[in-house]
Structure 1
Amino acid sequence: MLLLEFAILTRRSGWSTRDAALRLLPGALMMLALRAALTGAVWWWIALALAASFPAHLADLMRKGPGRAK
């Protein structure tokens, strides 16, 4: 589903690949953490994926700048 959403964002919405990737990366990392938790992975895999999602989210916010909604 994320690949489909990426394709729609880049082709139909006119977003650059960088914008679309930065927007979708935190969610993808959180889904990876959820999958690890549901399959019984060791705790540090879950923590690693969750910890990586926060800087990715911050990078997206910093790229947008203050006051920009898109």
Structure 2
Amino acid sequence: MIVLETIWLLWRGWRLSDVALLLLPAVLMLIALRAALVGAPWPWIAVPLALSFPVHLLDLSRRNARRD
């Protein structure tokens, strides 16, 4: 679904950097979910999950700066 959303957003005229920053937190959370479901050690769950938050904040701040 993320690949389809990427294609759709690019087709609608979004820049690749904007699409990547928008979808990267979701990808990181999916990686953490996958690690949890297969019983991976806790760092394989915690690291991508922790990284998704600052990337999300970066995306929000970049969108707010563009809007202003």
> TM-score, normalising length from structure 1?
0.87
Supply the distance in 2 between the matched residues of 1:62 and 1:55 (Cα, whole angstroms): 10
Which residue matches 2:63?
64
Give aligned-pair identity as a percent: 56
- Aligned-residue RMSD, C-alpha: 1.1
Cα deviation digits, residues 11-57 of structure 1 (max 9, x gap): 1x211111111111101100110000000000011000101101110
Give, in whole Å, the separation in 1 of the partners of 2:29 and 2:22: 13
Match of 1:34 in 2: 33
The number of equivalent residue pairs is 66
Gaps of 5+ in 1: none
Residue in 1 that maps onto 2:5: 5
Distance 1:48 1:9 in 2: 27
Give the 4+ runs in structure 1 shifted more than 4 A.
Answer: none
Structure 2 residues without counterparts, runs of 5 or longer: none
Q: TM-score, normalised by structure 2?
A: 0.90
Higher helix share: 2
